[in-house]
């Protein structure tokens, strides 16, 4: 199951990755992609994986649709959820119980200045 969260922070990707690794007791994150529009990093522990994307600059939905790169779907997603969110966090694991989802939300709130949690 994948959970996708829009988030915002003034901190850099490296600082966010350090905080996420600490909050979720994960190994250090590895940068997996860097482009003109975004940077992403990933960490995995067993069946649990976190990927965080930092968006660089602001790309509208119309501009994102014209970009012919692997970044296109991420940029379109950001334009749809709101340009005020400069991070995308994807958590992957077998299944999330309600209690795990609540703990995950608390941990994300401790890392980001703003995070959009479904149901908030």
| pLDDT, tens digit, 9 for 90 and up, residues 20-49 | 999 999 999 999 999 888 899 999 998 889
Q: Does domain 2-55+85-115 have CATH number 3.30.310.10?
A: yes
Q: What is the pTM of this model?
A: 0.85
Sign of CA dihedral 115, 96, 91, 82: negative
Query: How do the domains of the chain map onto residue ranges?
Result: 2-55+85-115
């Amino acid at each position: 199951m994948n959970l996708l969260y829009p988030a915002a922070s003034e901190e850099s990707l490296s600082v966010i990755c350090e905080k996420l690794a600490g909050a979720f007791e994960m190994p250090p994150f590895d940068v997996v992609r860097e482009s003109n529009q975004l940077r992403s990093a990933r960490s995995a522990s067993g069946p649990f994986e976190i990927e965080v994307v930092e968006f660089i600059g602001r790309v509208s939905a119309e501009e994102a649709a014209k970009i012919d790169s692997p970044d296109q779907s991420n940029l379109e997603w950001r334009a749809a959820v709101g340009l005020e969110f400069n991070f995308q966090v994807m958590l992957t694991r077998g299944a999330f119980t309600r209690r795990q989802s609540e703990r995950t939300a608390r941990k994300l709130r401790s890392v980001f200045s703003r995070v959009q949690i479904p149901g908030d």
